[in-house]
Structure 1
Amino acid sequence: MTPDLEQVRALLGAPHRAGTPPHWIEHAEAVLGPLPPSYRWWLAEYGSGAVGGASIATVSPPEYVEDSDAITAAWRRDDDRLCFHVEDDGAEHRFALDRRRADGECPIVRRDPFDGEEDPVAETFAGFLAVHDARARGLRDGPNPTIAQLWRATPGLLRPDGLLLYGPHEIAERNETFEVARYAPGWTLVGDDSGGRGLLMRHHGRDRRSVYVLDLGALGEDVADVGDLLTNDLIGWLAAV
């Protein structure tokens, strides 16, 4: 799934900055090859930042390509891996360049500093930001496996028809506003249609895949009985429509 960059902007919640000059990014790509689009966008829009207290690799002026903080530093490249973030314990987050998708995005893997094993983290750089934001907010990976999968690609999604899937930066506030835990216990509001109807999914039990659409003024324990079933495969449905 292609990241929704406006939702990334909302997730970051930081004022717009000048970012990195375009020719710096172009020079970095002349050294490394094409950078993943959502990471390239972040460089152009923000230029610098940190996750978990550790800086994300940035782009330096062309004459400083070997600066340790620069994505072009030689130590960051290891065959088909490109390290852009190092945790305090030495664990590295890397772009898996050999698994680049058709849209140019690269999955993110975490390399353990002790045994060198890799674990998948996210499907895109935007998803990496979403996953870490969710965990920092105490949301773990998401309210259910489907939303966790969505967030690994994009921190929410706004479609042209007004349907909005929430990212970790807004899901708690939306659920609190509509008192979902009170009126529809066992359910989570995962989005809305921008017209007064919410998208709800179970956050425990066997069926945590089905998405129901229901007027937000009619919330109750019987969501599955009174709501309209939208899909039982949200990710596939989003890809198809």
Structure 2
Amino acid sequence: MRLTGGVVTNAELVSDLGEASARGELFAVFQPQFDLANGSIVAAEALCRWRHPKHGIVPPDTFIPLAEATGAIGAIGRFMLDQGLRAVVAWRRLGLPIGVSVNVSPVQLSTEDLVDHLGERIEAHSLPAGALTVELTESRPLDDFADIADRLRRVRALGIGVALDDFGAGHASPEHLEQLPVTEVKLDKSIVQSGTDATWRELAERLRGARARDLTVVAEGIETPSHLRRARDLLCDRAQGFLLGRPLERASFDALLAR
């Protein structure tokens, strides 16, 4: 693979990734999520970035799979959880009741201590559990579905929201909406950006269960006015994407909120 600093191998990245958090190379960015009814920012998705000292910014699509494969995803997940919750505390001090969502890998969810850790960190930051949503990706089949569903029910029992990410990417199903304690469905950007009329009709049918359960439906990947119109046509509740707001580091995101 080739990054900004030249050619680099997976082995080199794996070696460096283990110490990236301790060296302060990982950082969080926040992408705003907008209410389509009134245009206000109602939440932010916390996203991890890696600024490698030699190779520059390493794309998440490159280092997250490596982190999952090597077990480093646990440390990254804990780092991102605290970054997200600290941001929410700061926003609430300003009188802004904005929630935050953090991505949780099925690999993380398979560990016994994740649920307890989520509860402990919410309590440590003195936040209501509803200020946090965990996003479970559906871009690949879920192994050990029964165990994952059980742990998500425990997460939901704490009051934390549960979002089904990448819905429509090929593996999510209406049955998952019934079997998982989901509070939010995030449409995969491929649906919003390049779906056909037939795709949208099928998606509307798949979302019928979500509507019946009063779940929040979020459109991702809004990059053009036509994407935004499509999200409205699909009756989405919220939207996020470059057209509306790019991922920003905390200082820039705070400035956006101030405006």
What TM-score results when the alignment is normalised by the length of structure 2? 0.24
- Greater share of helix residues, 1 or 2? 2
What TM-score results when the alignment is normalised by the length of structure 1? 0.25
Question: Which structure's CA Rg is the greater one?
Answer: 1
